Every structure is written in structure tokens, then in C-alpha cells.
Amino acid sequence: MPRYLSLLESGELHDRSLVMGNLLRDCTLCPRECRIDRTQDASGFCRSGHLPIVASYCAHHGEEPVLSGTRGSGTIFFGHCNLRCVFCQNHQISQPAHSLRGNEVSLERLAGIMLELQSMECHNINFVSPSHFAAQIVKGVEIAASKGLRIPLVYNTNGYESLNTLRLLDGVIDIYLPDLKYSDNSAALEYSKAKDYVRHARSSIVEMKRQVGDLVVGSDGIARSGLIIRHLVLPNDLAGSGESLRFIREEIEAKTFISTMSQYFPTHKAGKYPLLSRPIGQREYEKVLEWLDRFGLENGWVQDYSSKDYYCPDFKKSQPFEVD
Ligand code: SF4
């Protein structure tokens, strides 16, 4: 059974949602620590108020096989973000030219979307870019679980997380799916406006592993709980792939499941940055695969070099908002 059900039964889920709701009044949900009152104001880095912004939701068949399975991962794409990646592959919803606050939904509606995805027989609920809405998600889960939600929860994050928020998610989330984007803060600052990304992402992944442990997959091939780390290879080794893989090997463990992705393409503002203005080369990608071998990291998935669109959702088909 998903972990959040025992918290619901004990009343702890309700207490967590109250504590996290209070964090919104002086927001420290993520490492930005903007300290604005989001019940009144949406001027923080993520430009988000107290209601969640749902850009789209669907049964997603392009996630890792243990998440998408045969019936899809019940994916909820949140609008806006606590990073500003100049190469964001989902920039239409993470950094839209105009605010997506018109897509705000009530917490009851967020819970209703979870139940709708469950009724579509999705294998799980997959929260994409959840960090700035973690409090709203916990309240939504409380409502949905009390109305019959019973499938695992996936926290699909850019990795820029606050440890305090993650600890409040302990027992709520079943599967953590963090990015590990950089191993060098100067690159994180230049390309994602996060000068302390490496410290926060690494300590977050250690905490996630502590909470959920190794990946557990049922006899049907579908993930029940655990950790999967995503690593998008960037041109000119801007992702610091070797150093990130070394960190996983030495600080997490060799049997960690890693999803290695080749799908980078220079979208959004990437063309203005010479080192990011081209796709990755085949040899560059092969070098990362060699590092995986060298560090003995054998579990996970390696996106084929030539099928770069494998994980790319088509927002134009699934979203209820206009792409600028
Ligand atoms: S969640 Fe948004 S408002 Fe809160 S600290 Fe992070 S960026 Fe700032």
C-alpha cells in the first residue's frame, strides 16, 4: 500500500498539511527562501501564489518503463518553476511569457485530478515540477486519499529542494524522481540561476534515499517505491556528468537506478549561450556511458542517442492553455 495511507489513518497527513500550509505565509518551501506571504502575494521567484497551477495532466507513456508501464503514468504538470534553466525543455509552462495563474485550481480540484487519473487506471500519480507547490500537493493528497486514492505518488523534481520540505514529505511520497543537473555551481548559476544548486540537490538526494530506499518493482514490472535519479547530458560537459556519477557511486550507492538522457536540444534561450547552442554529440554521450561503466552503475535506463524525443511530452496535444 502507498505510504501516505498510514499517515492519513494516523492523522499525521492532516498535521503535515497544516504545517506546510503555514510555510506558505513566509515562504521557505524551497531553497530560494523568498519569505513572501503566498496567501497574499505571488512575487516570489516562482511567481506562484497559494493555489496550485496545473498546466496539464494526462496518462503519460513516455516516462521510464517502470513508471509508464502499459497504462501510463498519471502525470500532473505544474506551471512555473523555482529554477530558470535557459535550456528548459518545458519552458512553455515553467517560464511562460505570461503568468499561468489563470490555470490555478482549487485544492479540491487538484485532488479530483488525482482521482481522475486513478480512474483512468494510471499506475501512479506523477507530480512534475512539484517543489513550489509541495504544500498544496500534500493537502491535495489528504483530500484525495480520504476519497479513495490508492496508487503510489511520484515526486518528479529538478532537485532544487529544501531539506525541511523534504522531511515533511517523508511518508507521503513513494517514489522520488530527482534530476541531478550539475556538479558545478558556476554552471548552475549561469544556466539555471541557482548558485547553490549542487549542495541542495545532493543533500536532497541523500534524504530521498534515506526515506524511500532502493527502487522496488512489483511482479507486474511497475515501481512501488524507491529512488530514480535522472541525468540529462549537456553539451561541452556542462552537466559535469562524471562528477555527478561519482557522487552517486560514492555518496548514494552503486545499485541506484539512474535514467541517463540524451534528449537535450537547444530550446528556449539556449541559442544565446555558445556552449549550449547545439545538441550533444554522439562521442560526448558515449563518454558518459563509459563513466557509468567505470563507476559500476549498472541499474537504470539509458536513452538511445538517436531517439532524443523519448521523454518529451507533447504539451501542444495535452495542455489546456495556449503556448506562446
Ligand atoms: S516556493 Fe517560490 S516563493 Fe517559496 S521560496 Fe521557493 S521560489 Fe520562493
Provide the CATH number for the domain around residue 82: 3.20.20.70
What spacing in Å lies between the alpha carbon of 243 and ligand 1's midpoint? Answer: 28
Q: How confident is the model at residue 307 (pLDDT cuts 50, 70, 90)?
A: low
Q: What is the pLDDT at residue 152?
A: 98
- Give the mean model confidence (pLDDT) for residues 262-268: 94
Ligand 1 center–CA 172 separation, angstroms: 21
Query: Closest Cα to atom 2, ligand 1: which residue?
Result: 46
45 Cβ closer than 6 Å to some ligand 1 atom = yes
Contact 43, 60 (CB under 8 A): no
pLDDT at residue 306, as a whole number: 80
Residue 317 covered by a domain: no
Q: How many CA atoms lie within 13 A of 59 on its CB side?
A: 13
Q: How far is CA 64 from the centre of its chain?
A: 13
**22 C-alpha to center of ligand 1: Å?**
13
Give residue-wise pLDDT tens across range 58-73. 999 999 999 999 999 9
Residue 310 in this model has a pLDDT that exceeds 70: no
pLDDT, mean of residues 313-324:
30
**182 CA to centre of ligand 1 in angstroms:** 21
Output 306 or 294, whichever has higher pLDDT: 294
Q: From ligand 1's centre to the CA of 294, what distance in Å? A: 38
Whole-number Å distance between alpha carbons of 23 and 18 = 9
The pLDDT value recorded for residue 316 is 31
Buried b (16+ CB within 10 A) or exposed e, 56-78: bbbbbeebbebbbbeebbbbbbb
Q: How confident is the model at residue 28 (pLDDT cuts 50, 70, 90)?
A: very high
pLDDT tens, position by position, 77-126: 999 999 999 999 999 999 999 999 999 999 999 999 999 999 999 999 99
**Structure confidence at residue 317 (pLDDT):** 31
Q: Is 41 in the pocket of ligand 1 (CB under 6 A)?
A: no
The protein residue whose alpha carbon is closest to atom 8 in ligand 1 is 34
Cβ of 29 closer than 6 Å to ligand 1, yes or no, is yes
Domain range enclosing 287: 4-28+54-310
Residue pair 282/93 in contact (Cβ under 8 Å)? The answer is no
- Answer whether residue 46 is part of any domain: no
Residue 145 lies in a domain: yes
- Confidence class for position 318, pLDDT limits 50, 70, 90: very low
133 in contact with ligand 1, CB cutoff 6 A: no
What is the distance between the alpha carbons of residues 20 and 52, in angstroms, rounded to a whole number? Answer: 14
Contact 84, 132 (CB under 8 A): no
205 Cβ neighbours under 8 A, 6+ residues apart: 159, 176, 178, 180, 227, 229, 248, 252
Question: Using CA of residue 82, residue 88, residue 90, residue 92, what is the dihedral sign?
Answer: positive
215-225 burial: b if 16+ Cβ within 10 Å, else e: beeeeeebbbb
Among 45, 83, 162, name the best residue to mutate to test ligand 1's pocket (greatest count of ligand atoms within 8 A of Cβ).
45
- Whole-number percent of the chain with pLDDT over 90: 93
pLDDT of 189-247, one tens digit each?
A: 999 999 999 999 999 999 999 999 999 999 999 999 999 999 999 999 999 999 999 99
Which residue's alpha carbon is nearest to atom 6 within ligand 1?
Answer: 30
Pocket mutation for ligand 1, best pick of 20, 25, 28, 32 (most atoms within 8 Å of C-beta) = 32
CA distance linking residue 173 with residue 4, whole number of Å: 7
In a domain, 183, yes or no: yes
Counting the structural domains of the chain, the total is 1
- Calculate how far, in angstroms, residue 201's C-alpha sits from the geometric centre of ligand 1: 16
Looking at the domain assignment, is residue 250 inside a domain? yes
Ligand 1 centroid from CA 34, angstroms: 5
What is the rounded distance in angstroms from the CA atom of residue 19 to the CA atom of residue 308? 41
- Cβ of 44 closer than 6 Å to ligand 1, yes or no, is yes
Q: Is residue 131 part of a domain?
A: yes
